[in-house]
């Protein structure tokens, strides 16, 4: 059963509740849009409140950490979902591959969102970008530039931390290496990076910065917006200390550019409110919504000309890799297979 946004301020629905919930009846009322969202309430609520204020269309939302794409697939033609909000090109393209999406036709979206951040067939649309960067100890790392290739240099032996190589954020990065360097070179690179790890991959992106603060490693892979999340974390002020112990290095700014990924949206194949769904997607790509995204979660807007937040601006400018996300999606399977082939998640082997 759907809950209005205002009733969701207490937090996420548990995965157990989602798994046990009965399949909902599609909402057919005019002026409503039904949203399944992996994106957290604190970020989505301001956007949806602004959308309703502007259009009068009510938003009904289910939040969860996982399982929503599978739920839409299981619900089939009876699914009440109009749109799915998620992160990472892998999850967006995965929804398309699962057959739970339909193409969005909108000149507004096409004007607001550059083609590089849209599926060529219209099945997914990027809404924000984030860079996969290197967090480096201010105390122990003197250099202010780096490349992804350099992570394989023996000088970093025992000094790199990262989350699982099979996490979607890393798979996308590794897929960009495959696309840029070829599978053979990517395999060797992964094996060399594995042997430079300080420990087996574990935890999330924030955990790696905590490990740098604790002296367990000197550099780590992470997404840019986690810096903002740590610096603005009032509930766990120790995260500010973690964040202040590191600096952000944008890899490959001197050549092909830093790998970027997206958050985005798909329209469900059996959306009961397709017109309202398109209006929501158009709004999320608008200048107003893009500004909210930039301020609320310290992400980079996809709409050209929308200013980034003051905090994000303080991290400096960088050159993004121009490799299309569609090309990255095509290489995800190879990247994932290489992670297993070299035993990346087993940690150093030499």
Annotated binding site for Fe cation: 225-226
Whole-angstrom CA distances from 246 to 136, 213, 220, 269 are 5, 8, 10, 44
Annotated binding site: 225-226
Q: How far apart are CA 23 and CA 317, in angstroms?
A: 47
CA atoms within 13 A on the CB side of 306: 25
């Amino acid at each position: 059963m759907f809950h209005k946004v205002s009733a969701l301020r207490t937090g996420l629905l548990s995965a157990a509740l989602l798994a046990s919930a009965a399949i909902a009846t599609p909402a057919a009322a005019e002026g409503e849009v039904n949203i399944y969202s992996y994106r957290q309430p604190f970020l989505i609520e301001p956007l949806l409140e602004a959308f309703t204020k502007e259009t009068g269309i009510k938003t009904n939302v289910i939040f969860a950490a996982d399982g929503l794409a599978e739920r839409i697939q299981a619900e089939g033609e009876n699914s009440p979902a109009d749109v799915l909000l998620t992160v990472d090109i892998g999850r967006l393209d995965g929804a398309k591959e699962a057959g739970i999406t339909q193409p969005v036709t909108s000149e507004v979206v096409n004007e607001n969102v550059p083609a590089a951040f849209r599926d060529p067939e219209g099945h997914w649309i990027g809404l924000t970008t984030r860079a996969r960067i290197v967090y480096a100890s201010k105390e122990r790392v003197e250099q202010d530039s780096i490349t992804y290739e350099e992570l394989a240099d023996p000088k970093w032996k025992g000094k790199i931390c990262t989350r699982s190589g099979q996490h979607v954020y890393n798979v996308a990065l590794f897929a960009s290496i495959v696309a840029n360097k070829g599978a053979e070179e990517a395999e060797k690179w992964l094996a060399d990076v594995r042997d430079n790890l300080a420990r087996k991959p574990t935890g999330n992106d924030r955990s790696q910065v905590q490990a740098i603060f604790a002296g367990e490693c000197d550099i780590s892979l992470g997404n840019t917006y986690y810096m903002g999340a740590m610096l603005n974390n009032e509930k766990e002020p120790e995260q500010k200390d973690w964040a202040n112990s590191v600096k952000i290095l944008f890899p490959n700014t001197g050549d092909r550019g830093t790998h970027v990924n997206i958050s985005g949206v798909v329209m469900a194949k059996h959306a009961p409110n397709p017109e309202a769904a398109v209006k929501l997607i158009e709004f999320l790509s608008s200048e107003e919504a893009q500004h909210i995204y930039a301020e609320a979660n310290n992400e980079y807007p996809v709409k050209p000309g929308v200013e980034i937040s003051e905090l994000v601006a303080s991290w400096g400018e960088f050159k993004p890799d121009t490799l299309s996300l569609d090309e990255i999606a095509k290489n995800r399977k190879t990247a994932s297979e290489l992670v297993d082939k070299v035993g990346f998640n087993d940690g150093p082997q030499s």
